[in-house]
Every structure is written in C-alpha cells, then in structure tokens.
Chain A
Amino acid sequence: MSAPALAGESAVGRLASAPRRPQLDRGGIAVEVWLRVQASLVYAFLYLPIAIVVVFSFNANSLATIWTGFSVNWYPTALANSVVQNALANSFIVAIPNAILATLFGTMAALGLQRVPRRVRIVFDAVTYVSIIIPEIVIALATLVLYATGFGFIEDTFGIKLRFGHVTIIAAHMLFNTSLVLLLVRARLSGMDRTLVEASADLFATPWRTFRQITFPQLLPGIMAGFLLAFTFSFDDYVITTFTSGPGSSTLPLWVFGQVKRSVSPETNAVATIMLLFTLAMLFVGQFLLLRNSRRTQGRGGAGMAGMIAEQR
C-alpha cells in the first residue's frame, strides 16, 4: 500500500488545485485504478458468499458445492419438507406478534418520553441505547438465566410449570426490538414540527383528535419502519432464539444452522435464498414508505430507512 499512497499525494495535490477535472499523471491513474480494484474486492467479499448461496440453490446436484446443472427443484422440495414448514411457521409465529408488540410498546414509550422531564429522559435514552449495544450473546444468556430461575421460582411457589416456547422467544426479541422502535419513533418525533400540534389545537382539535389527525400521521413512517425492522430482526435472529426456544419452537435460522452443521445442501441454500428475498422485500417496503413520506414531513428521512438505521446503530 505504501507505493500507491506516495503516488496518491501528487494526485491529491492536483485535486486541490484543480478540483473540477484533475488531469492525472501515471501515478495518479495507478491510484485511481487501485482504489477501484480495492472497492470491488470489498464488495465481492461482502456479497460473493451470498451470491454463491443463491446460485447453488439452483444446483441440480445434491452436494451443494459441486455444480452439475441448473435446477429449480430444491425450492419445491424445501417447501414440501415438513420440518422446514414448521420452522417457517414458527418464524412467523414469533416475528409477527413480536413486531406488533414491539411497535406498540416502542411507540407508546417514545410518546411518553416526550413528556417526561429532561433529566429522566436522558436516563431512559441511555438505558435504551445500552439495551441495543449490549452483545446479543449476553442478552441471550441473561434472558435464559432469568427464565430458568423465574420458572423455577414460579413452579416452586405456585406449582405452575412454565415451558420454553414461542412466548419466551417473543419476549426476548421484544427487549431489543422495543428499544429499536423507540429510537426510530423518537427520531421522528424530535424531527417533527411542534407548532403543528399547536396549530391543530388552535383550530379546535382536542388533544386526542390532534394525536389522531396530526401527530400519528406524522409518526407513521417511523412506526412502519420500526415495525418492519422489528419483524426482520426477529425473523432472522439466531443467537437469542437458540437460548430461549423450547421443543417445537425452532425457527428457520435455527433449522438452517442445524443443517449447516451436517453439510450444506441445495435445499438449505434454497431456504436461505427465500429468507434473503423476503428480508430484502421488507427493507424495500420500509425504504419506500420513508422516502415517500420524507417530503411530507419536511424533517429528516431523505436517506430513508438506511439513514435511520445508521443514525441509530
């Protein structure tokens, strides 16, 4: 890297003096080419494995790594597999209620925090950020410990036996998803023009009608983005799910991981491809909603969902 870096200095000097169209010397051209190659390598590193998974999901051979011909047969095979069907069903059973509840609680918390004194709000903001930043494995372990001891206590005291299953996964996912929605909606709220609320009150709308007709529509893109993110994060979560799932509640990522431990089959690739497409679709819908509404609400949101996520994470 040292030689191109030296050559780069002259190119930078030229850029500074003639910012419009730098006439590059040979060293400058070399730097330019090298930077492009490097960028291409980074993207290849990021996306090539995914591309391979997608490509090999269309492999006719039952051994995933040996290409013998094109086939779409693995998709119907995977979808007909009752284990895959169960896992997929479990994923939805977990992700949908999780997204709904996280959105509901996150939005309510965001609205509540807006009315709380500043000092209290700062504490809650910090706690919210921390819950997102804490490594997933720690949350997973802590949740498992909590469930185990809590269930033991309940059984000892009330004689009720609680089991791991969908509900335990949903509750664990909600922990970080609620924080996520809270942050997204808070960003929206603080970007919102407060005089709109005053204008509404000035025009005879009661506080409830103001919320329904002004505040809520203004927040809706943030709430929708929160819902979609909560859904996807829950849908493809592995770590917390393994720790908190019980018999019969394995989700799709758990199934995929279980398969990979044996050998990667095209069937697994097909399932992974379906998940990929589904997640991407959700992201596009979220992005579309945010961009469509960014002009209406005049605030931030020009960068869409990616911008909001980048802002929060």
Chain B
Amino acid sequence: MTIAAPSPSPEAPLGGRAAHDVEIVDVTKRFGSVVAVDRMNLRIANGAFYSFLGPSGCGKTTTLRMIAGFEQPTSGEIMLAGQPVAGIPPYRRNVNTVFQHYALFPHMDVIQNVGYGLRQRNVGRTEELERAGRALELVRLTGYEHRRTWELSGGQQQRVALARALVNQPTVLLLDEPLGALDLKLRKEMQLELKALQQEVGITFVYVTHDQEEALTMSDVIIVMNEGRILQEGSPTELYERPVDTFVANFIGVSNPIKGKVTAFDAATHRAEIESAGGLRIAGVVTDRAARPAAGTEVTVAVRPERLRVDAAGTPEPEGSGWVSVPGRIEQGTYLGEQTEYRIATDVVGELIVRRQNAAGAAQHVGPGDAVVVRWQEEANLVLVD
C-alpha cells in the first residue's frame, strides 16, 4: 500500500519532513478563567502512535483541537512539520481528524465522503476516485462505495471516517476517542486494526482516549495528562512499570498504595528506604528520576496486584533475598476467569488487592477467612514522591 508514501507533492504545502511532525512549545490554553492546557511542551516524533491519556477535562481534546486548528493557543507555539502554524485555519493545515462521532456527511455516499478532502484540493476526478478507492480498500470497505453512510454499522462508519482522513496523506492523523461509541468486542478488534493500519501507512497518529487499556494496546508513546499538564510521557511498559506519581500509577492499572516516610535515600542508586505508617520497613527505587526525597518525606509505595503472592500462613519464605512478607486474612475472593482477585486485610499496611492467575497447578487454594501471608519482592516496590 503506497497510500502514505511521503512524496513532496504540491498538495503538501509544508514541504519535506522535519524531525518532529508536531512540536508543542510552552502552550497554554485558557477558556475564560479555566486553564485547559497549562504550559505544555511536547515533541511528537514522526511515524509513531501517540496517545493522550487522561480523565475527561484533562486538556487532551483541547490539545488535539489546537493541533487541528479549531482552537488557537492563548500563548505558546505549535509547529507542524517544523513550521509554526499560529493563525493558520484548519483547512490550510495538512492534518486530518477522525471525530468522536465520525461526522460523516449524511447527504453524500461513502465514496463521496472519502473523496471530500481530495475534491477540495482539486486533484481531478480520476485521481480522486482512484485514491478514494484505494483508501476504502485499506480499511476493507471495497464494495461499499455507493452506500449511504447511515446504512453502515458503527464499525463501518468508523472505517469510512478513517479512510476519509487517511486518503489525504496528512502529516499527522488526529483521532478523538473514535472508538468510544462502539461496543466492547468491536472496540477491541478496532484497536488492533488501528495499530496495524498505523504501521502499514506510517503516518503519525495522535490518539486521544480516557481508556488506559486502549492506550496500552495501541500506543508507542503514551502521554498521561491531568488538569492541563503532562504528568508522564513514555512507552506503555515504562508507564506501567515506572509510574512517576500516584495519579499515573492509579490511572494506568491498579496499585496497592502503602503510605510511609523516607528514612534514607541513596542518590547513586536512586533507592529509598521507607518506614510505612504501620511500621513496615521496605525499600525501593524512586520512579521519578528528578526527585531527591529527603529523610522524613511522605511517599507512597505502590505495588501492582499481580506482583503479590498469597501463601497460606506458615508457608516458609521462598528462596532468594528481598522478600517482603505481610501477614493478613482473606476478606473476599473474586473469581474473574483467568484470574482470582483477593482482598486481604492486614494490620501493617491495611487492605491489599492481590491478583493471581488461575493457571494449571496454581498454588494451594485459599478462601475467605483464611490466615495468609502476602509476599512480594522488593523490586516490585514503586516509590512515588508526590
């Protein structure tokens, strides 16, 4: 598929490719007294799948709309393919959007919708039809050219919206929660399809979502936002394994928070020793590379539920060093199919949530009321300084 071959054609007014498709330099956006985006700095590398992830109202959609040109930054600058775009209206930006509710033109059939952008650029009827046809092929909708858009299913409408945007070979494709209206199964399918499509066409995708799982599945880079600010930027693995603060740790996946105070911090290894409120002494790496917590600093140690293991009380400690053991009692066990989730009450660190795979030959069965020991290895401790 050559649909996105980066060719310096006359319809790409911004010319050759800069190192970064999108650069956001110190951008602030205010709506009245509300700060939607607060001094944002970001560079979006070419050809990657980026996701803005955050709760509603965190400024992710506003950022997307500023890139598209529907909103102008209050201050700061946005560069597309190395060129500042302040004051350039959406119709003169080489950026296309897939809207949340698709926004397909109801009075046009599928192929007219897909060819719309090309028609505005006067590419000529033959080329328009040929390229629109190829775009439909790309989204596997060949044969649907003359259908009315309202006759299509949600997933098909979604693909028409994608084809309509991709056919223009934009510098960046913006996607504003496009899967939100689909049911769960279809959403899962479309996630994988979108990812495959992005790799096939090589166009930079900037995706907005509030669904962490969606972001984890598709993205090369996730940008976690809250209250108009970027909290963390990184690969899905980085974000899950090394969240910089409690917000990120709780927004991406689930974690068990253990509150405590720093007793010692080693700047060389970035390791901190912590005494929890319940008197548990644990140690772990401070995830925020910039942080230098002094002794006495309040921190949260987060541990992922799947890193914890549940042993019946009295089971000897496993081999190896660095095990943390906390005695407790099972309050509740919820069978989730491939996993079982336990809620365990402990005296030292309060309630812990543990997830255990229901694999063949899994450890002995434990049930509500049983006295257990929750164990995890020190490397699972994520020390979060807020």
A residues at B contact (CB < 8 Å)? 193, 195-196, 198-207, 209-210, 213-214, 217-218, 295-298
Contacts and interface: CB of A to CB of B under 8 A. Distances in A.
B103 A199 contact: yes
A47 B135 CA distance: 58
Given A199-B103, A199-B105, A296-B106, 11 more contacts: A193-B103, A195-B101, A196-B103, A198-B99, A201-B70, A202-B97, A203-B164, A204-B92, A204-B120, A207-B91, A295-B150
A98 B260 CA distance: 80
Given A198-B70, A296-B150, A204 B106 contact: no
Q: Chain A at the B interface: mostly helix, strand, loop or mixed?
A: helix
Given A195-B103, A296-B106, A296-B107, A202 B150 contact: no
Interface string B135-157: 00000000000001010000000
19 contacts: A196-B105, A196-B106, A199-B97, A202-B90, A202-B95, A202-B97, A203-B91, A203-B96, A203-B117, A203-B168, A204-B91, A204-B117, A204-B120, A204-B121, A205-B91, A206-B91, A218-B106, A296-B106, A296-B150
Interface of B: 68-70, 89-92, 95-97, 99-101, 103-107, 116-117, 120-121, 148, 150, 164-165, 168
Contacts of B89: 201
A297 to B, nearest CB: 6
A308 to B, nearest CB: 18
A203 B114 CA distance: 10
Contacts of B99: 195, 198-199
B125 to A, nearest CB: 16
A200 B116 contact: yes
B51 to A, nearest CB: 20
Contacts of B148: 296
Nearest to B65: A198
A39 to B, nearest CB: 37
B77 to A, nearest CB: 21
A204 B97 CA distance: 11
A297 B96 CA distance: 23
A198 B117 contact: no
A202 B101 contact: no
A2 B258 CA distance: 76
Nearest to A193: B103
Contacts of A210: 91
Max chain A C-beta neighbours (<10 A), residue from B69, B97, B104, B121: B97
Max chain A C-beta neighbours (<10 A), residue from B96, B120, B148, B168: B120
B70 A205 contact: no
A217 B107 contact: yes
B110 to A, nearest CB: 14
A78 B6 CA distance: 75
Contacts of B120: 203-206, 209
Contacts of A200: 105, 116
Contacts of B69: 201
Please provide the 9 A-B residue pairs with the shortest distance between their CB atoms, ordered closest to farther: A203-B117, A199-B103, A204-B120, A195-B103, A201-B90, A296-B106, A205-B120, A202-B97, A201-B91
A301 to B, nearest CB: 12
A193 B148 CA distance: 17
A297 B107 contact: yes
A195 B100 CA distance: 9
B209 to A, nearest CB: 18
A120 to B, nearest CB: 19
A195 B101 CA distance: 9
Nearest to A295: B150
Contacts of B68: 202
B106 A298 contact: yes
A217 B105 CA distance: 10
Contacts of A193: 101, 103
Contacts of B92: 204
Contact of A218 (B103, B107, B116): B107
Given A204-B117, A295-B150, A298-B150, A198 B90 contact: yes
A270 to B, nearest CB: 42
A213 B105 CA distance: 10
A202 B91 contact: yes
Contacts of B168: 203-204
A205 B119 CA distance: 9
Contacts of A206: 91, 120
Nearest to A206: B91
B114 to A, nearest CB: 10
B106 A202 contact: no
A198 B103 contact: yes
Max chain B C-beta neighbours (<10 A), residue from A193, A201, A206: A201
Nearest to B151: A295
A195 B104 CA distance: 9
A199 B162 CA distance: 12
A297 B103 CA distance: 11
Contacts of A204: 91-92, 117, 120-121, 168
B180 to A, nearest CB: 14
Contacts of A298: 106, 150
A210 B95 CA distance: 17
Contacts of A199: 97, 99, 103-105
A135 B236 CA distance: 69
Nearest to B117: A203
Contacts of A195: 99-101, 103
A295 B95 CA distance: 30
Nearest to A298: B106
A209 B122 CA distance: 12
Max chain B C-beta neighbours (<10 A), residue from A198, A204, A205, A295: A204
Contacts of B101: 193, 195
B371 to A, nearest CB: 57
Contacts of A218: 106-107
A203 B150 contact: no
Contacts of A207: 91
Contacts of A201: 69-70, 89-91
A204 B107 CA distance: 18
B81 to A, nearest CB: 16
A202 B103 CA distance: 11
